[in-house]
């Protein structure tokens, strides 16, 4: 399932912000460079997050700058997750991680089931070793392929 555009922007804000606030979204903005979104789509997604109260556009004026710990430099502006936005981003991140763990468990269960079937079928020692080797190679290919997709 394809991740919605707004979720890609939330993920960037969750992992990047407020480390690199920008005044406007352009080709070098993290919303564009860290996702596969074009500038216009990233702008629409960011505006939707503000409309939904998941993010806010923060302008730091003279006197509002609290120091390096607030994540913004004096005179800079940028998007920042609201508390509700942080909760949504955190829950999505946990769900993404849980999904990866579940996929790994399904694959491991499949490998164990195939190994059990190979062990039950009466084969010569050479055939058992060969089938175990083939199973290992297939498992390594699938693991490598999964890592390449990430």
Least confident of 12-21, 63-72, 108-117: 63-72
Helix (H, G, I), strand (E, B) or coil at 82: coil
Instruction: Write the secondary structure of 3-49 as one string of H (helix), E (strand) and C (coil).
Output: CCHHHHHHHHHHHHCCCCCCCCCCCCCHHHHCCCCCHHHHHHHHHHH
Write out pLDDT tens, residues 34-93: 888 999 999 899 899 999 999 987 765 544 545 444 555 545 567 888 899 999 999 999
End-to-end CA, the chain: 14
User: What pTM, to 2 d.p., does this model score?
Assistant: 0.63
Provide CB contacts within 8 A for 70, sequence distance 6+: 18, 60
Provide CB contacts within 8 A for 88, sequence distance 6+: 10, 54
Question: What is the model's pLDDT at position 2?
Answer: 79
Every domain of the chain and the residues it spans: 5-81, 99-149
Give the whole-angstrom CA distance, residue 76 versus residue 59: 6
């Amino acid at each position: 399932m394809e991740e919605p555009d707004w979720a890609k922007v939330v993920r960037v804000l969750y992992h990047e912000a407020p480390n690199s606030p920008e005044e406007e979204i352009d080709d070098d903005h993290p919303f564009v460079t860290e996702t596969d979104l074009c500038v216009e789509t990233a702008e629409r997604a960011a505006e939707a997050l503000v409309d939904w109260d998941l993010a806010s556009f923060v302008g730091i004026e003279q006197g509002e700058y609290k120091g390096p710990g607030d994540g913004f430099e004096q005179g800079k502006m940028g998007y920042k997750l609201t508390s509700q936005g942080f909760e949504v981003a955190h829950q999505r991140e946990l769900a993404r991680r849980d999904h990866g763990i579940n996929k790994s468990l399904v694959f491991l269960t499949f490998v164990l089931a195939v190994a059990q079937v190979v062990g039950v079928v009466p084969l010569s020692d050479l055939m058992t070793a060969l089938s175990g080797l083939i199973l290992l190679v297939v498992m390594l290919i699938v693991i490598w392929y999964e890592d390449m997709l990430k």
